[in-house]
Amino acid sequence: MIRVAIIGYGNLGRGVEFALRQNPDMELVGVFTRRAPEAVETQGATAYHMNDLLAKKGEIDVCILCGGSATDLPVQTPEITHHFNTVDSFDTHAKIPEHFAKVDQIAKENNRVSVISTGWDPGLFSLNRLYAQSILPQGETYTFWGKGVSQGHSDALRRIDGIADATQYTIPNTEVIERLKAGEALTLTTRDKHLRECFIVLEAGADEARIREEIVTMPNYFADYDTTVYVISQEELNQNHKAAPHGGTVLHTGITNESTKQVIEYNLQLESNPEFTASVLVAYARAAVRLANEKQFGAQTVFDIAPKYLSPIDVETLRRELL
Amino acid sequence: MIRVAIIGYGNLGRGVEFALRQNPDMELVGVFTRRAPEAVETQGATAYHMNDLLAKKGEIDVCILCGGSATDLPVQTPEITHHFNTVDSFDTHAKIPEHFAKVDQIAKENNRVSVISTGWDPGLFSLNRLYAQSILPQGETYTFWGKGVSQGHSDALRRIDGIADATQYTIPNTEVIERLKAGEALTLTTRDKHLRECFIVLEAGADEARIREEIVTMPNYFADYDTTVYVISQEELNQNHKAAPHGGTVLHTGITNESTKQVIEYNLQLESNPEFTASVLVAYARAAVRLANEKQFGAQTVFDIAPKYLSPIDVETLRRELL
C-alpha cells in the first residue's frame, strides 16, 4: 500500500480524498492543515495540524500538496521535500524553472522524489504538446481552454467596486478549431481563440454602465477578448454558476512529405476541474513513490516519467492488455 | 547526428525517408532491401542489399524496421537487434508478449535497445489508454478506428472470386461517440461501433449478386458489421480510393466523486497512415539511441519510455517552453 498525506484541504484536497478511494493500492493517512483541524470538514479523513506532519514521517510515503501556486507551493514544496516525496500542481508557468531548480536540489540532497507542476495544464496538455511536436516537427500546436470557469478572471470581476459576486467562463472558438482541423493556415490573435462570458451580481445601487465598461476594458483580463457581460441575481448565480467545469483542447496540425496533412487532437471535458486535477496528482503520487524506490531522486515533471509508472498494473499485463 | 538505416522499402520505409528530412538531428545512412538495390526507387537515399548491412555496423546508430508483422518482423527484429539498436511497428497484438520476450533477451545480451510495437495503434493509442485509465480508474475506454482504409479488409475483398480490385473503409459510428461523450452508459456490440464501406471493381461477367452476398456474410471481416458495397469502375477506384487515410479516437469516460463526469479524448485524423506511422517510428528511433547511450538496454515499448526522450530539444528548454 502507498501511504498518502494530503497537505491543505480546499477543493483540490477534497478531490484527492475522493480520488484515493478509487485507487485500492493507496491509503490516506490524513489531511494536514494550517487551520484548526477540528474546523476542517473532510469526507471522512482524519485532519491533523501541519505541525504534526513531521511526527508522522515513518507512516507517509508521499505528500500531495494541495495549496495554491501564488504563495503556498513556492514555500511548501521545498520545505516538505526535505522530509517526504511530494507531488504538486505548481502552475505559474514563468516560475517553473526556478521552482524546479530549488526543489530538485533539496530532493537530491535528501533522497526524495518530487513531481512538480502536474495536473492537466501544466500536465497532460504539456505531454500532448511534447508528443505531437516530437512526432510532427513541421506543424503548429494550438492550446484552447474551456468551456470552463477561470478562477483568476472570476476573482478579477469580484474585485470591481459594485460587484457582489461573479463567475467567468472562458470559451474556445470552436469554429476556429474546426477550420484548423480542416487544414486552414490561420494567423490567430488572442481575440480569435477564446471568448469570455461574465455572469455578475450587482450590489444595491451599483452603476451597471460603469461596471460593464470597466470589465470590457480591463487590461490583460478582458480588453483583448470579445467579452459578454450578463447581470443576474445571486440566486441564479448560486444555482447555475457555482460548479467548476473546465477542459480544453491541444490541437497539433502537421504535415509529412511536404503536403500530407496530419492532425493530432487531445480534448478534456471536465465536470469538475479540481477533482480531475486531483486524479492526475494521485496517479503521479504513485509514480513518485515508485521512482523513489528505484532511487531516481530529484525533481521530475510529466516529461521525465515513463507512462508505466502511473498505473497500478504491472508492465507485462499492460503490454498484453493495453498495447 | 543520429545515423539511421531504413530496413525494407515499401510505403512505411518511404514514409521514414520523408520523416527524416524533418528532423535535422538525424541523417539517413541508406535503405537496405532484399530486392536488387538498383530496382528500388527511393526518394534520394542510397539503396543497399540487406547482405551489406553488417558491413555498415560502425556507421549506423539505429535501424528502423519497415517490414510487415506477419512474416518480416518476427524474424528481422530479433536478428538485427543482435547488432543494432532497432525500432519496429510489430502490430499483431496477440503475439506482442512473445515478440517482446525474444527481442528483450537478445537486446540485453548484446547491449542494444529495441523499441517494439510503436506507431499509433499499438503506440500512441496505447499510451492514451494507459494515461486515461491510470488517471480515471473508474471509467470505460473505447477505441474507434477510422475513417480509414483497412488493408486487411481490402485484401479480403480482393481475394473474392470475381473482384478485380477493392478498397475498404472502416468508419466509426460518430453518433455513438457523441452519446458516450455526453455521458450515456451504452453497451456496445461490434456492429454499434463501426460501419464498413466497400468499393469494389468487378471482373467482366462477374456475378454481382453472389459477390455482394459473399461480402456481407464473410465471417470475422464483415458479417458482424453493417456493410455497404459500392460497385465502381477501376478508373474511379484509382482516382478516388487509392490514398491511405486513417485515424481514430481513444475515448475514456470516467467519474470522480461517484458521479462527476470527466471525458478524455484523443483523436488522429491522418491523410497518410504509413507516413504518420513512420513519423512515430522516427521519434522513437531518437529515443532508442538515447536510451542506449544511457545503457538502458533491452526491449522497450511506448509504456517504458519517458516522453522527453522523443524530443530533440533539451529538457530544460522543454520545461520552460512546453510545460
Quote ipTM for the complex. 0.96
The reply, when asked if residue B150 is annotated as ligand binding, is no
User: Cβ of A127 and B307 within 8 Å?
Assistant: yes
Q: Give the residue from A146, A121, A153 showing the smallest Cα distance to A220.
A: A153
Instruction: Cell numbers for A234, please give them.
Output: 445571486
- B276 lies within 8 A of chain A by CB: yes
Q: How far is B252 from chain A (nearest CA, A)?
A: 10
* Residue A69 annotated as binding site: yes
Cross-chain residue pair A15–B256, CB shorter than 8 Å: yes
**Which residue is closest to A248 within chain B, CA to CA?**
B264
pLDDT of residue B298: 98
Query: What average pLDDT score do residues A207-234 get?
Result: 96
A308 preceded by cis ω (within 30°)? no
Backbone angles phi, psi at B230, to 5 degrees: -115, 125
Which of B131, B272, B322 faces A260 most closely, judged by CB atoms?
B272
Prior bond of A102 cis (ω within 30°): no
Which grid cell sits at A163? 460587484
Contact residues on chain B for A247, CB-CB shorter than 8 A: 263
Backbone angles phi, psi at A141, to 5 degrees: -110, 135
Q: How confident is the model at residue A63 (pLDDT cuts 50, 70, 90)?
A: very high
Residue B319 to residue A303, Cβ atoms within 8 A: yes
**Is the Cα dihedral A306, A311, A315, A320 positive or negative?**
negative
A135: nearest CB among B283, B303, B322 = B283
| B131 at interface of A, judged by CB pairs closer than 8 A | yes
For residue A50, name the pLDDT band (cuts at 50, 70, 90): very high
Sequence-separated (6 or more) residues with CB below 8 Å from residue A317:
none
pLDDT at B120: 97
Residues of chain B with pLDDT under 70: none
Q: What is the pLDDT of residue A201?
A: 98
What helix, strand, coil percent values describe chain A, rounded to 5? 40, 25, 30
Identify the three-state secondary structure at position B184: coil
CA B271 vs. chain centroid, Å, equals 14
Interface of B with A in 167-196 (CB under 8 A): 181
Question: Looking up cell 499492460, which residue turns up?
Answer: A318
DSSP classification of residue B45: P
What are the beta bridge partners of residue A80? none
Of B34, B28, B29, B30, nearest to B8 by C-alpha is B34
Alpha carbon distance A235, B152 (integer Å):
59
> CA A86 from chain center: how many Å?
16
Identify the CA nearest to B148 among candidates B251, B15, B241: B241
Distance from CA of A97 to the nearest CA of B (A): 6
Amino acid A206: pLDDT: 96
pLDDT at A185: 87
CA distance B196 to B147: 10
Average pLDDT taken over every residue of chain A? 96
Contacts of B262 in chain A (CB under 8 A): 268-272, 275-276, 279
Q: pLDDT, tens digit, for every residue of A103-156?
A: 999 999 999 999 999 999 999 999 999 999 999 999 999 999 999 999 889 999
Give one DSSP letter per residue of A249-276, joined into a string.
EEEEEEEETTTEEEEEEEEEEES-HHHH
How far apart CA A64 and CA A84 sit, in angstroms, is 10
Q: For residue B204, with 0-12 CB atoms within 10 Å meaning exposed, 13-18 middle and 19 or more buried, which class applies?
A: exposed
Reference B101, options B63, B90, B129, B60; nearest CA is B90
Facing residues of A49 across strands?
A33
- CA distance linking residue B229 with residue B154, whole number of Å: 12
The pLDDT of residue B185 is: 87
Q: Which of residues 280-299 of A touch B (CB under 8 A)?
A: 280, 283, 286
> How far is the C-alpha of A18 from the C-alpha of A245, rounded, in Å?
17
Q: Which of B18, B247, B315 sits opposite A256 (nearest CB)?
A: B18
B12 has binding-site annotation: yes
Is A9's pLDDT higher than 90? yes
- Cα distance between residue B280 and residue A228, in whole Å: 43
Query: What is the reported pLDDT for A27?
Result: 98
Counting one residue from A and one from B, how many pairs have CB atoms under 8 Å apart? Answer: 202
CB within 8 Å: A127 and B131? yes
Dihedrals φ, ψ of A226, to 5°? -80, 115
Amino acid of residue A32: F
Residue B124: name the closest of B147, B107, B103, B143 by CA: B143
| CA A40/CA A61 separation, integer angstroms | 23
Sequence-separated (6 or more) residues with CB below 8 Å from residue B173? B144, B192, B193, B194, B195
C-alpha cell at A198: 461574465
Question: What pLDDT score does B258 carry?
Answer: 86
Can you tell me the mean pLDDT for A222-229?
Answer: 96
Residue B34 labeled ligand binder: yes
Among residues A236, A214, A269, the alpha carbon closest in space to that of A167 is found at: A236
- Asked if B310 and A275 come within 8 Å (Cβ–Cβ), the reply is no
Whose CA is closest to B322, among A221, A246, A121, A154? A121
Distance CA A40, CA A32 (A): 10
C-alpha cell of residue B241: 480510393
What's residue B112's pLDDT? Answer: 98
Retrieve residue B287's grid coordinates: 529515443
C-beta atoms of A269 and B265 within 8 A = yes
CA-based end-to-end distance of chain A: 26
- pLDDT tens digit string along A229-242? 999 999 999 999 99
For residue A258, pLDDT beyond 90: no
